[in-house]
Structures are given as C-alpha cells and as structure tokens.
Amino acid sequence: MSTFQAPKGTYDLIPPESAKYLAVREAIAAPLRNSGYGYIETPGFENVELFARGVGESTDIVTKEMYAFETKGGSKLALRPEGTASVLRAALEANLHKLGNLPVKLWYSGSYYRYERPQKGRYRHFSQVGAEAIGAEDPALDAELIILADQAYRSLGLRNFRIILNSLGDKECRPVYREALQNFLRGLDLDEETLRRADINPLRVLDDKRPDIQKQLTDAPLLRDYLCDACKAYHEEVRELITAAGVVFEDDPKLVRGLDYYTRTTFEFVHDGLGSQSAVGGGGRYDGLSEMIGGPALPSVGWALGVDRTVLALEAEGVELELPASTSVFAVPLSEEARRVLFTKVTELRKLGIAADFSYGSKGLKGAMKNANRSGARYTVIAGERDLAEGVVQLKDMESGDQTAVGVNEIVAELESKLG
Ligand code: HAM
C-alpha cells in the first residue's frame, strides 16, 4: 500500500469487478440509444448558482452536500451533484430546443459528487446513467422513460425492484396543497428545524424518516386529493400507458423527491435488498426548471439510475452478469524468435477483432501458462525453438486441454474460424 488511500466516501473500480460497472452502464444506455436519445457530456463542475436555482436553495443537496469552491479567478463553482440542471443548461446554451424537433432527447453517463455521510450504497463520488427529454408535455414521454428504465433493469436480470409513482401537481394545484399541508404541520408537535422546513419546503417533511414524525403524519393531507383536473388526467394517462406496456408499479401518494424542480410525474426505482439506501434510480417531470435557470418554458422529464446501487442490487439478488472473457487467445513464446513471431500473430489477431494477449517479460513456461490461465483465454498459442524449426506452433484448447500443432502460416486463420 502507498501512503495514500482513496478519499473517504469513494472507492476505486478495479478489474475484474470493474467490468460489472461497465456492463451496467451499457445495459442502461442500450434502450436509450435505441429510442432516439443522443449522447451528451457536460463538465464535471458548473457555476454553483445553476444548482442553487435548479435543484433548490433549501434542499439538502444544495445546503449541505455540495462541493462548492472558488477558483483563483474568483468564479464560484461546484462539482455537479446531479445531471439534470447541467444537461438542460447545455441544451439551452447550444439552442438545441430551437434547432430541431421537440422533445430534445439526451442521455448521459458520468460521475457525480455529494458530500454525504458515507455508508453502504451512499458515496461522495458515485456514478449515474441518465436520460432527459426536453421540451414536450406528453404523458407518452413520461411513460417511455419509465418503460425504458424498467427494460434496462430487466435486461440485466434484476427482478426484485419496485417502481413507485406519484404526481406532484403543477403551479396551479401545488400551492393550494402546500398551504393545506402547512396548516396541518403547524398543528403538530415538531422540533424547531422541522418547523422551519415546514415553512420553506413542507412537502419535504413528508419524507422525514423518523418514526415519531411519521406517526404524526398519518392523517396529513395528500397531494392526490388536491390535484387539478389537468394534472389528474395527465397522471391517469401515464399510469394507463405504462400499465399497457406491462410495467408493474405502485402508487405512492407520499413520494417526494430530494430535488425541488419536480412537477407532476415523479417516480423512484427501489430495491428491497439494499437496506436504507434503497433507491436505485429516480426521476420525473420538471416543467418549470428551464425558466428557473433563465430559459424559455420547456416542459421536460427525465431520470437517473445509480450505477453503484444497481451493482449492489445485482449482488443482493445473486445475479451473475454474463461478461464476455476479455481475452480469447493468449500467446506464450518460449524463445527469442518465438517472441517475434507470436507478437506479430497477436497483432494480426487484434486487427481482426479477436481479443488477444501476450506473455510479457521473461517468464518460464510455468509462469507464462499461469498468466494464460488467469487471462481466461479460450486458446493458448505456444511456440519454442523446435516448433518454429518445424514451421508450427502449438495450439492449446484451454477447456479440453487438447494440444495440436498448427502451421505458423495457418494459425491466425485457424483461430479466426474456431472463434467464429
Ligand atoms: P437522485 O434521486 O438524486 O436524482 O439520484 C438518482 C440516483 O443516483 C439515486 O437513485 C441513486 O441510485 C444515485 N445516487 C444519488 N446519490 C447517491 C450517493 N450519494 N451515492 C450513491 N448513489 C447515489 C437525480 O439526481 C435527478 N437528477 C434525476 C433526474 C433526472 N430527474 C429528472 N431527470
């Protein structure tokens, strides 16, 4: 070990486990790529004000969890705690909403940073794959996103996740509900901090996990009963579309999210094998966010799935991903001339798209065969002085253990046909 370790709340992705993370990212991205979403990448940091305005001044993310700093030039920046505000900022900046048809559909994959108290499933550096559909108000778009996330998880072999769904209303009906909830909360026995929260962001109090608070909330008014007709009809349409697609979900009238930009449809993917950090993904509609960050009205919807927690969920379910072996052919030279010959063959195989590796450094046959075994290669090609003198190399089938001599000039074609 060196003097240094990964910072608190972070961890390294190291082979062979790291292959799982790549596979998860790819599995989440595949249905998006297949549904008209284009890839977007934005910087790891942004103007801090983007998140303050976008995610919400009073959210935990902005008040406690942001890695905010001032640059030498005096700019106030923050490492991105989430992707939605950045993606919308980038889309507006590039005028994507004016260039083509709406919605603008984008997907992304990257690192996010929150200064949270680390525990299993909760890290200070984590990874999300997300999707945003910008500039359209259409229940089919909300449904599409939920269906695609469901499809991604199923393609990975996950089964024990649940989708919970709610509507948070819009600027017509939410304020009426907010006031009703505030009146209710004022009548409860709450500590000072919670009362303050009830003033600033009463919906967040519903999300308080403490049992004594939850007990008092049993009779709290529900947003469901305050939705205006337009929100009700919209939500009903989303529910019908995902039901028709065979996606199972649960209505959760108490679902609130930790970010302030949501309107109407909100959802979370939860996995029951993860303990307290059970949300593997979440998202919803954010019809007002564009205006909150100085853009035009652009009703939008999206989600982000956590890669770290999805991997934990796979482990909790005992799902083994079928990862292709990273090496198909391993070359073991036993003389100087063999090194040159086999190195050329490895290069040729790689050009043909066959994953091949080589025994580097001067190892004896035993050490080199150990490496061949560890590489997971299906075939090993071994050559020594005597083989080359006869114009052959030895082809070893690592599954059966059989070994046959193959002509030096035939070996590449032979492997190509064997590996199909
Ligand atoms: P979020 O619910 O804050 O939503 O994060 C989405 C997912 O990221 C979570 O469900 C979780 O899997 C993962 N995640 C969040 N924080 C951590 C952490 N500290 N450690 C490990 N994993 C974590 C958003 O970020 C929204 N931008 C989603 C969205 C997109 N809404 C609309 N569009």
Q: Are 270 and 342 contained in the same domain?
A: no
pLDDT in tens, 155-165: 999 999 999 99
Q: Are residues 281 and 342 in the same domain?
A: no
pLDDT at 286: 98
* C-beta of 135 in contact with ligand 1 (< 6 A): no
In terms of domains, do 289 and 361 share one?
A: no
**Mean pLDDT for the stretch of residues 123-151:** 98
Residue whose CA lies nearest to ligand 1 atom number 14: 306
Three-state SS for the chain is: CCCCCCCCCCCCCCCCCHHHHHHHHHHHHHHHHCCCCEECCCCCEEEHHHHHHHHCCCCHHHHCCCCEEECCCCCEEEECCCCHHHHHHHHHHCCHHHHCCCCEEEEEEEEEECCCCCECCECCEEEEEEEEEECCCCHHHHHHHHHHHHHHHHHHCCCCEEEEEEECCCCCCHHHHHHHHHHHHHCCCCCHHHHHHHHHCHHHHCCCCCHHHHHHCCCCCCHHHHCCHHHHHHHHHHHHHHHHCCCCCEECCCCCCCCCCCEEEEEEEEECCCCCCCEEEEEEECCCHHHHCCCCCCCEEEEEEEHHHHHHHHHHCCCCCCCCCCCCEEEEECCHHHHHHHHHHHHHHHHCCCCEEECCCCCCHHHHHHHHHHHCCCEEEEECHHHHHCCEEEEEECCCCCEEEEECCCHHHHHHHHCC
In short, whether 59's Cβ falls inside 6 Å of ligand 1 is no
**Atom 21, ligand 1: which residue's CA is nearest?**
122
CA 374–ligand 1 middle distance (angstroms): 36
pLDDT of residue 415: 98
Place 100 in a pLDDT band, splitting at 50, 70 and 90.
Answer: confident
Residue to mutate (ligand 1; options 24, 82, 305; most atoms within 8 A of CB): 82
Mean pLDDT of 406-420: 96
- Ligand 1, residues 40, 105, 128, 163: which to mutate, most atoms within 8 A of Cβ? 128
Band of pLDDT at residue 323, cut at 50, 70 and 90: confident
Measured in Å, residue 285 CA sits from the centre of ligand 1 at: 14
Domain-located, residue 113: yes
The total number of structural domains that make up the chain = 2
Domain final residue, candidates 316, 340, 368: 316
Per residue in 351-379, pLDDT (tens digit) is 999 999 999 997 889 999 999 999 999 99
Task: Round the average pLDDT of the chain to a whole number and report it.
Answer: 95
What pLDDT is recorded for position 140? 98
User: Do both 272 and 339 map to the same domain?
Assistant: no
pLDDT at position 373 is: 95
Q: Mean pLDDT over residues 6-28, rounded?
A: 96
Which domain CATH number covers 351? Answer: 3.40.50.800
pLDDT at 1 over 90: no
- Is any ligand 1 atom within 6 A of the Cβ of residue 113? no
Kindly give the distance from the C-alpha atom of residue 175 to the centroid of ligand 1, in angstroms, as a whole number.
26
pLDDT digits (tens, 9 = 90+) for 40-69: 999 999 999 999 999 998 889 999 999 999
- Per-residue pLDDT of 25-44, as tens digits, reads 999 999 999 999 999 999 99
Range of the domain at 96: 17-173+227-316
Statement to judge: residues 301 and 408 lie in one domain: no
Say yes or no to pLDDT of 325 above 80: no
Residue 231 pLDDT more than 90? Answer: yes
Query: Is the CB of 80 inside a 6 Å radius of any atom of ligand 1?
Result: no
- Whether 126 is in the pocket of ligand 1, judged by its Cβ within 6 Å, is yes
Average pLDDT in the 312-335 region? 93
Higher-pLDDT residue of 258, 329: 329
User: Are 300 and 391 in a shared domain?
Assistant: no
Q: How many angstroms separate the alpha carbon of residue 305 from the centre of ligand 1?
A: 6
The CATH number that applies at residue 281 is 3.30.930.10
Is the beta carbon of 118 within 6 A of some atom in ligand 1? Answer: no
